[in-house]
Amino acid sequence: MRAFSLLLIAVVALLAIRWFRPEPAEAAEERLAPSEAGVRFLPPPGEAVKAAAPAAPTPVDGEIHVSEEPGVADAWPANLLSTKDGAEDEVRVAAALLHGTPAEVQAAAASFPKDRALLLESFSWAAAGERKLALSLSEKIEKESVDERERVLFEAVLTGRAPVPAVASVGPVALAMEMSLLARQANQALLARRYVEAAGAYSRLLIGEIGAPWPAERRLLAEWTKGLDEAQREHRWHPRGEWPAAETKIVSGDTLIGIRLRYLSEHPGAKMCTGLIERANRIKGLLQPNQVLRIPTEPVRVVVDLGACWALFFIGDEVAAAWPIGIGRPGEETPVGSFTVRNKLENPPWMKEGQDPIPFGDPRNPLGTRWIGWDKEGAKTSYGFHGTWDQQSIGQAASDGCVRFLNSDVEQLFQILPEGAPIVVQG
């Protein structure tokens, strides 16, 4: 009996050696070879020699179509986003990547191929600061089965290096990944007091969010607006900021009105107001002889996004200020289209057709402390920007069609927005 037991043990040992023998060290090393970013991906099963890249498949309905036209997706205008009917899954996952938690990304990407879903979940964990967990998940991914741009963005979130800008249109998922990386860059730049970089990054985030195919997240818009305000305080709204300007030296008797008129005579077609000069130069009190003022030379405009309930004030192509707004209620919707600033009133009365004017300060007057009226193709309209006493209506569809601001916000806009400046209202 003892001899039989020894024989049985020997047979079991031989079988264990045969079936559980570890792979050669070289094979293990090759299988777990790190990429440039130190991220380990599994090669496809049975891969011996890297095959030539296959031709791009013909897109079908529901897929993301990527344009081959050159361009850089820096500010992500809407025409750079490749979407078409049937891409709801892409948009849902993109929104989860930028707005949600790793668990929400995992749930949203459940319908994606396994490796892509793992890559996006790994990205979200890395963006949340869980680098080790992200690396652990990434080891299960077959490198060749994931989109190259998405893989590059994943490596960027792990390494902290900025990815090379895309040279073609991007789909919603890659856009959300780029914006997530840009948000981190903006925060880091602001903490490091690199205000020009931070202002540009927050500007691109705000433009990207209101132009994206997913619904804008007001929590993030508020966060990025706060960051923008801090950065622009030391950039666009600082007399020594790095922004294009015409300089003028103050002589005895100069006033801001005179300086504005002189600038406009030298720059036909420009739109300028004294408040813009005042704020850009941080003027407080009287002008001093020999003082040098800088006058912004880039055109200004306002973009109103009704879906996001947010307004952006541009100087040139950069957002210099932004605010939450209220818009027209159902049946009295704020019209979309292009307008210009017609007039500006402090402490405005409220005038409604067929009724006597209601003076400022009357509880029945809803206009707040400022009114900025709109023209449409040279004709007066009944629409405009105004303040409100009802703070709860900001972010809501509650007005008679006009765009509402908090009083403190409309007073800022009133100061810096010249008459004749363009306004774009988009849905």
Kindly provide the b/e burial profile for residues 224-249, where b requires at least 16 CB atoms within 10 angstroms of the residue's own CB: bbebbbbbbebbbbbeebebebeebe
Task: Confirm whether 386 is a catalytic residue.
Answer: yes
**Active-site residue (options: 99, 235, 273, 402):** 402
What percentage of the chain's residues is helix, strand, coil (to nearest 5)?
40, 20, 40
Termini Cα distance of the chain: 87
Which ranges of 272-372 would DSSP assign to H, the alpha helix?
Answer: 274-280
Instruction: Specify whether the CB–CB gap between 243 and 123 falls below 8 A.
Output: no
Distances (CA, A) of 93 to 10, 89, 234: 55, 6, 36
In one letter, which amino acid is 81?
L
Instruction: Specify whether the CB–CB gap between 326 and 393 falls below 8 A.
Output: yes
Of 327, 318, 312, the residue nearest 296 (C-alpha): 318
Task: Confirm whether 273 is a catalytic residue.
Answer: no
Of 278, 282, 239, the residue nearest 255 (C-alpha): 278
**Active-site residue (options: 99, 273, 309, 386):** 386
SS3 of 396, please? coil
d(CA 423, CA 221): 20
Q: Which residues are catalytic?
A: 386, 402
